[in-house]
Amino acid sequence: MEIDHKNIPKHIAVIMDGNGRWAKKIGKNRLFGHQNGVKAVRKLIEESARLNISYLTLFAFSTENWDRPKKEISTIMKLIVLVLKKELSTMMENNIKLETIGDLKKLPENVKSSLKETVNKTKKNNRLTLTIAINYGGKEDISNAFKLLLEKVKNNIISPKKIDELIINNHLYTRNLPDVDLLIRTSGEQRISNFLLWKIAYAELYFSNVLWPDFNEKCLHDAIISYQNRERRFGKTSEQIK
Ligand code: FPP
């Protein structure tokens, strides 16, 4: 089956899972798995731009990942800085804009400055918005929005009666992103793991058994073809949407 280029999901989100298991399978350490995960990230970004996907959101580091061994955390942080540095020219050539979601305050200074610099340099690009979720948790996103909103209520900037889905959305880290159309998770796990809770309300879920470093262009095509064969009803009946 071929991709239907007239029905490309606008927003794809990816939980890149299985780096550790991929490395273990070939007798290497977890860090080697993450290094190879980066190569798959690169392929995914370039293919997404080629397919005219407008929004690609990647889960690079969750609010829960701080519980991992220190060495692994510092490797992931180093890889993020390395990818940003190495991919800046690709992002400029392919007209890709970088955004971040998550609480950046807790990140090492060099990671913060590298993210800010890349966001700034790519801010005029408008073909693909690549959002990196880093120190991101879906529950934390929502509770942070609560904090911001309650502060406004306290200061009489917003009346509680006015609070609706749009206002809540506008206080999330993800406020500028459209709803997710397709959520992909690799490595056979079938969980959301606290990713993008608000924006996946009507996402199509796709679980692949491939471990993240092996995820290639063909795997992305398979996920999109699966998406294109689903009937998205958004609460309506099948007859209503035909
Ligand atoms: C999941 O595999 C992978 C991660 C938690 C980290 C992924 C991050 C990168 C590859 C860096 C990406 C950089 C950018 C800028 C997007 P796992 O360690 O949970 O694997 P396992 O479940 O097999 O142990």
CATH 3.40.1180.10 fits 11-137+179-231, yes or no: yes
Q: How far is the CA of 70 from the centre of ligand 1 (A)?
A: 15
Q: In the prediction, which pLDDT does 232 show?
A: 82
Q: Which residues line ligand 1 (CB under 6 A)?
A: 16-21, 34, 37-38, 41, 58, 60, 65, 76, 79-80, 83, 132, 187, 212
User: Side-chain half-sphere of 223: how many Cα atoms within 13 Å?
Assistant: 29
pLDDT, tens digit (0-9, with 9 covering 90-100), for 154-203: 999 999 999 999 999 999 999 999 999 999 999 999 999 999 999 999 99
Q: How far is the CA of 205 from the centre of ligand 1 (A)?
A: 19
Nearest-angstrom CA–CA distance, 186 and 18: 7
Q: How far is the CA of 237 from the centre of ligand 1 (A)?
A: 39
Q: How far is the CA of 66 from the centre of ligand 1 (A)?
A: 13
Query: What are the sequence ranges of the domains in the chain?
Result: 11-137+179-231
Which atom of ligand 1 approaches the CA of 62 most closely? 5
pLDDT, tens digit (0-9, with 9 covering 90-100), for 1-45: 899 999 999 999 999 999 999 999 999 999 999 999 999 999 999
Which residues are known to be catalytic? Answer: 17, 65
Residue 20 near residue 30, CB atoms below 8 Å:
yes
Which atom of ligand 1 approaches the CA of 60 most closely? 8
Residue nearest to atom 15 of ligand 1 (CA): 80
**b/e 5-32 (16+ beta carbons within 10 angstroms → b):** eeebbebbbbbbbbbbebbeeeeeebbb
pLDDT, tens digit (0-9, with 9 covering 90-100), for 95-120: 999 999 999 999 999 999 999 999 99
pLDDT, mean over the chain:
95
